Chains A and B, each alone.
Chain A
Amino acid sequence: MAVIVIEGLRKEFRKVRGRSTVALDRLDLSVPEGGVYGFLGPNGAGKTTTIRCLLGLVRPTQGRARLLGAESSRELAQVIGRVGSIVETPAMYPRFSGRRNLELLGRLNGIGRKAVDRTLERVGLQGRADDHVRTYSLGMKQRLGIGAALLKDPELLILDEPANGLDPAGIKEVRDLLRSLGAEGRTVFVSSHQLPEVQMMCDRVAILSRGRCVAAGPVGEVLARGRHEALIVRVGDLHAGLEALIAAGIDAGLDSDHLRVTLPVAEAARVTEALARRNLYLSELRPEEVSLETVFLELTQDLKEEQP
């Protein structure tokens, strides 16, 4: 069952003067239940607008967004108790302590102090829980925001750039936390710019560019849509090796300290054979790893080039 369903979502922001800005352009997306779902896109791609539409903060110009089966624009109140969220940098009352902020939010849903204490401990803020939020660092505010999202013990978490402002240790903590939440059977829908983090953390991803979804699915599948399969080859004499491969009719190129051969892994034997004929012996032969960053840049770049 899909916990988030977006169909033909379009959002235009009208300006007082001049043209309107299209933030979302017929966006379709379906997020299945359970696991961590990464929502990627360059700045201005429409990630935050999508999240605001899902949470009923922004009214779509066209299309529908459903959360846990409820229409975001009309029926959100029925399911909001099962949805935890943060939108951009979470705003809290600066002159209240972190604990007081969570207690006040909790009161809206009948959540008691024990749950607040547990949440503060889970996000690592128990030591500063009674300090004013205005004295918190950006990372601590971000943790408090995540705490507020977790306070409802939600089935679905919608997190907009939750690792913003966190140091490397904090980023790892958030990654581990989100993975553990996903492993518990909750659905974590997380937008991020930090592509290596998303690759490590998410089961599925969607890539957004200019308000459209350009790729979606399990991380492995999305990665496979990237570059053509290639092999990384290292030999003692790179130039001789390149010559041997080209002579054998294999598409190859010289990179800084290795050769890049455009062949699927299944045809790796052709490489060894071509090099062995010239008495060149391999020191390394492995499939090229394609990073999410590479795929992301290629997909979003492709769309930019298509645009007039």
Chain B
Amino acid sequence: MSALLAVEIRRILSRRAVFGAAALVLLGMLIAGSVLFVRSHRSDPAQLQAQQQQVEAQRRQAVAECASGSFGIPKQDVPPGMTLEQYCEQVVGAPEIEDPAFRLVHYRDVAENLSGLFIAVVMILAASFIGAEWHAGTVTTQLTWEPRRNRVLAAKAIAVAMFAFAFFVLAQVLLFGVLAPSAFLRGTTEGANLAWLQGAAGVVLRGGAAAALASGIAFALASLARNTAAAIGAFFVYIAILEPLLRAARPKWQRWYLYDNLATFISGHRLDFTAYGRSVAGAAVVVSTYALLFVLLAMAVFRRRDVT
């Protein structure tokens, strides 16, 4: 089994699609990192203070105008127990000053938001790995060397999952690598303490695990269809059309939706939109179960179907 696994990993790493995807991801990150580096700059404290004072003055003026009735707020709209001035304070809100300095602590948000993209990339690669094998007929050649089909498919699935995990984690580490100079040289590392580091590492590692599980599903679908495009199409139709429709029609079924559970698992906390969702551990169990079921189904079908 270890020889089979080593061979599969070597095959994955030699694929042109993997090089292409890695190059595209790297290029995108370098462009984004460069733009961020140019745009990020530290503000002068005196300038920042002046800016704050200016914004605060604008806010006070807006509240005063509101309280004098310029905003035309009907009296009945003011909540009971509140004066119009208090309500205007609430309506105008707190002043926001755009800080042009990139903060290292924002890496976690960026990593979390880009997880979906990286997972989509590894899913496409996972599906195309087995799809290309069926297309080229190399499965036949391999089975004339190792006829135990469960072993063959299990080795491929494990290799795909390992690759997906490594690709995702490496992509996130590279992302950190391209964002960090903007924070260290032209932004701030304020707040980037050990707790933050643990949180960010958690997002990366859970994301890697989610990528491995999602790529297992994509691999299983492509193995069942013996076709890359069909598998990718089916998955994205489900995740982009069917599941949102289901979510709108049956919000209480959220506990079972793949996207919601993946998002909860990667973020490490219950998300705002997952009102009926699960805990992080529960989401991990659901996604793992789905991946396992798909791979087992693919193995059962691969074992029975003719290879022609």
Contacts and interface: CB of A to CB of B under 8 A. Distances in A.
* Interface class of chain B by DSSP: helix
Contact of B3 (A76, A89, A107): A107
B307 interface: yes
A96 interface: yes
B147 A76 contact: yes
Interface in B114-154: 136-138, 140-148
B42 to A, nearest CB: 48
Given A95-B15, A104-B10, A108-B3, A56 B147 contact: yes
A107 B7 contact: yes
Contact of A57 (B136, B143, B148): B143
B308 A58 contact: yes
Contacts of B4: 108
A94 B7 CA distance: 16
A230 to B, nearest CB: 43
A265 interface: no
B272 interface: no
A83 B306 CA distance: 20
A175 interface: no
A93 B139 CA distance: 10
A77 interface: yes
Given A77-B148, A80-B147, A94-B136, A58 B141 contact: no
A108 B7 contact: yes
Contacts of A86: 144
A22 to B, nearest CB: 14
Contact of B140 (A57, A96, A108): A57
Contacts of B16: 95
Contact of A52 (B14, B142, B307): B307
Nearest to A85: B144
A68 interface: no
A90 B306 CA distance: 17
Max chain B Cβ within 10 angstroms of own Cβ: one of A55, A57, A77, A96: A57
A86 to B, nearest CB: 8
20 contacts: A55-B144, A55-B147, A56-B147, A58-B306, A77-B147, A77-B148, A86-B144, A87-B144, A90-B141, A93-B14, A93-B136, A93-B138, A96-B14, A104-B7, A104-B10, A104-B11, A107-B6, A108-B142, A108-B145, A109-B145
Nearest 4 interchain pairs by C-beta:
A91-B137, A57-B307, A76-B147, A58-B306
